[in-house]
Amino acid sequence: MPSDYESDPAVSNLRNYLRIRSVQPNVNYDECLTYLRGQAAELGLPVQVFEPRPRKPILVMTWEGLEPALPSVLLNSHMDVVPVFEKSWTFPPFEAHLENGVIYGRGAQDMKSVAIQYIEAVRRLKAEGIRLKRTLHLSFVPDEEIGGGPGMSQFVKTEDFKKLNIGFALDEGIASATDEYLIFNAERNIWHMTVVCPGK
Amino acid sequence: KLDSTNPFWEAFKAAADELKLKLDCRIFPGGTDSRYVRQVGIPALGFSPMNDTPVLLHDHDEFLSADIFLKGIDIYVKLLTAVANV
Ligand SMILES: [Zn+2]
What does the pLDDT look like over B24-77, one tens digit per residue? 988 866 578 999 999 999 999 999 999 999 999 889 999 999 999 999 999 999
B61 touches chain A (CB under 8 A): yes
Catalytic residue among A4, A6, A30, A144: A144
Shortest CB distance from B45 goes to which of A152, A153, A184? A184
Establish how many alpha carbons lie within 13 A of residue A22's alpha carbon, considering only the half-sphere containing its beta carbon: 31
> Is there a catalytic annotation at residue A144?
yes
Interface contact B25-A148, CB threshold 8 A = no
CA distance B65 to A110: 14
User: Which of B:29-48 have CB within 8 Å of A?
Assistant: 29, 32-48
A80 is catalytic: yes
Helix (H) or strand (E) holding A86: none
In whole angstroms, how large is the CA radius of gyration of chain B?
A: 15
The whole-angstrom separation of Cα B21 and Cα A76 is: 22
* Residue of A116, A172, A188 to mutate, testing the B interface (most B Cβ within 10 Å of its Cβ): A172
Give me ligand 1 centre to Cα B53, in Å: 16
* B2 inside 8 A of chain A by CB: yes
Residues 38-77 of A with CB under 8 A from B: 65, 73-76
CB A132 within 8 A of CB B84: yes
Residue A145 Cα to ligand 1 midpoint, Å, equals 7
Q: For chain A, 200 residues long, give each residue's pLDDT as a single digit of tens.
A: 445 899 999 999 999 999 999 999 999 999 999 999 999 999 999 999 999 999 999 999 999 999 999 999 999 999 999 999 999 999 999 999 999 999 999 999 999 999 999 999 999 999 999 999 999 999 999 999 998 889 999 999 999 999 999 999 999 999 999 999 999 986 444 444 445 555 54
Q: Is A143 on the interface with B (CB under 8 A)?
A: no
Cβ–Cβ below 8 Å for A169 and B2? no
Cβ atoms of A60 and B28 closer than 8 Å: no
* Stated pTM of the model: 0.92
